[in-house]
């Protein structure tokens, strides 16, 4: 069997995908967003503009003019990342450190891996896989980066195309893939995918290739902490939650299935809890029976990252922070648990 990276049917699919009107529209919008980002934040052409950044220009809850609004939302067609409000507050509180990192990111003389491997972890929430740093660097250098910010996503796509990341890290850094830094892996994967595109479909825009990968090879859901031994029931509640305490109990039972491997603390006072999400980031949670209670109780949205409730009764109305309605998720989780139990007894 021919290796995946030489399959003519895959290349044909990519070329057909790139010619679709929807794909062309997405690429045009991504390029418009990149142009607008460069106009608002001309860090490459005017590095001194970084020094002029004020805290409110870095991040302001609800502002569509702030830097991190454009990093997270204003350039969504370039690639998506999830960033909690508390992480951005950390960046704003360490403004001098952030400015130094942005200067590194916008330095034309540095390679991709040197930019990513800069001390971003000095800002809480910016470490680990450095998705935020990768998105910023991609926005500044879209001609060098694909728009994939997760190392596991890159690994997934490389396996589907039959690409060996070891070849890239050995060629570029004389390092095995597993021994490479986060930045070296990022640069290595971009080297691989640009090379593959240039060899097989040079006429396809790199933004179209990114969209094709996510469409053709959907990324599996991230693994969470496995079930703890000794838990025998399918659910700890016989009936739907009738109050906030019922929501707390249900979340405590299924937090790992909901994408939050660890609960750091549950407390009296606002916000109710701090948890860790599947990306290793802290998340401040307020529990409510219904989403509208968050408004009725007069909670300040800027301190909380997520409202966990039983039911989102706000209809089309949106609020900050985001809402996780357990009613929309718990039935699926319970069905999956039944299937797991049945498979164990077969």
- Model confidence over 157-210: pLDDT tens digits? 999 999 999 999 999 999 899 889 999 999 999 999 999 999 999 999 999 999
DSSP state of 309: E
The predicted pLDDT at position 225 comes to 37
Helix residue ranges, H only, 162-255:
165-173, 182-200, 206-216, 244-254
Q: Residue 52: CA atoms inside 13 Å, Cβ hemisphere, count?
A: 8
Alpha-carbon span 135 to 129, nearest angstrom: 11
Three-state DSSP at 61 gives: coil
pTM given for the model? 0.66
pLDDT at 59 over 50: yes
From 64, 61, 144, 96, select the one nearest 321 (Cα to Cα): 61
The maximal CA–CA distance of the chain, rounded, in angstroms, is: 67
Q: What is the dihedral of CA 297, 303, 309, 311, to 10 degrees?
A: 70
The predicted pLDDT at position 1 comes to 31
> For residues 295 and 272, is the Cβ–Cβ distance under 8 A?
no
Q: CB within 8 A of 127, min separation 6: which ones? A: 120, 121
When pLDDT is cut at 50, 70 and 90, the band that residue 340 belongs to is low
Distance of CA 228 to the CA centre of its chain: 27
Alpha-carbon span 265 to 131, nearest angstrom: 26
């Amino acid at each position: 069997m021919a290796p995946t990276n030489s399959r003519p049917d895959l290349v044909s699919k990519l070329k057909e995908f790139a010619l679709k009107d929807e794909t062309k529209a997405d690429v045009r919008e991504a390029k418009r967003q990149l142009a607008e980002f460069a106009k608002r934040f001309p860090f490459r052409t005017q590095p001194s503009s970084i020094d002029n950044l004020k805290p409110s220009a870095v991040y302001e809850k609800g502002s569509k003019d702030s830097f991190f609004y454009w990093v997270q939302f204003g350039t969504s067609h370039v690639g998506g990342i999830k960033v909690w409000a508390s992480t951005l507050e950390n960046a704003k509180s360490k403004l001098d450190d952030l400015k130094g990192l942005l200067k590194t990111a916008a330095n034309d003389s540095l390679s991709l891996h040197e930019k990513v491997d800069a001390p971003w972890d000095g800002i809480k929430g910016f470490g680990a896989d450095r998705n935020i740093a990768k998105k910023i660097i991609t926005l500044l250098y879209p001609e060098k980066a694909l728009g994939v910010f997760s190392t596991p996503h890159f690994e997934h796509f490389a396996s589907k195309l039959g690409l060996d990341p070891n070849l890239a890290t050995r060629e570029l850094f004389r390092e095995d893939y597993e021994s490479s830094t986060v930045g070296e892996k990022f640069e290595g994967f971009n080297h691989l995918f640009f090379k593959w595109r240039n060899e097989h479909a040079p006429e396809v825009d790199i933004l179209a290739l990114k969209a094709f990968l996510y469409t053709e090879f959907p990324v599996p859901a991230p693994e969470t902490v496995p079930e703890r031994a000794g838990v025998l029931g399918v659910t700890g509640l016989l009936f739907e939650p009738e109050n906030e305490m019922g929501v707390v109990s249900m979340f405590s039972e299924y937090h790992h299935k909901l994408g939050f491997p660890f609960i750091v603390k549950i407390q009296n006072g606002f916000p109710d809890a701090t948890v860790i999400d599947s990306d290793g980031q802290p998340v401040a949670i307020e529990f409510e029976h219904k989403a509208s209670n968050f408004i009725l109780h007069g909670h300040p949205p800027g301190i909380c990252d997520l409202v966990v409730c039983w039911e989102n009764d706000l209809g089309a109305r949106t609020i900050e922070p985001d809402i996780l309605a357990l009613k929309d998720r718990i039935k699926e989780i319970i069905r999956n648990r039944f299937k797991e139990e049945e498979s164990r007894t077969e």
